[in-house]
Amino acid sequence: MTKTEVKETTAYESLVDVKDKNYAPPSLGSLFDEDTTPKPEGKEWEKHWVGMPEFVQKEKKPFKTIYVHFRCQEDYDAFAKIIGQNLTEKTKSIWHPHLDRDANALKRWIEEQE
């Protein structure tokens, strides 16, 4: 097998010896003539969220987290049977009682027309 040498076809900006921490090379967008002007501070989504209902998602942290160790597969299987949940080798965490992630999947916000 022979080693192929590839020659540079264009010059590039080497930053190996640059010490100035404030130096920033051009953005990727500037290479494609995209608008790279700084955007105003604030949340971009707010200008689109006009007339929408208020929504605040409460953080759903667990009350308590414990780690359970098993001496053998039989103990693991017995534990799964006691709590009534299907545990596999890939199971990393569970909620007890079982958390039905699809329970609210079909709920929608409907506003009555006036």
Q: Where are the domains of the chain?
A: 61-102
Closest by CA to 55, choosing from 63, 45, 42, is 45
The span from the CA of 21 to the CA of 74, in Å, is 58
Q: First CA to last CA across the chain, in angstroms?
A: 77
User: What confidence score (pLDDT) does residue 103 get?
Assistant: 74
- Cβ(70)–Cβ(57) below 8 Å: no
The span from the CA of 102 to the CA of 105, in Å, is 5
pLDDT in tens, 29-85: 666 666 666 665 667 777 777 788 887 888 888 899 999 999 999 999 999 999 999
pTM: 0.41
Name the DSSP letter for residue 58: P
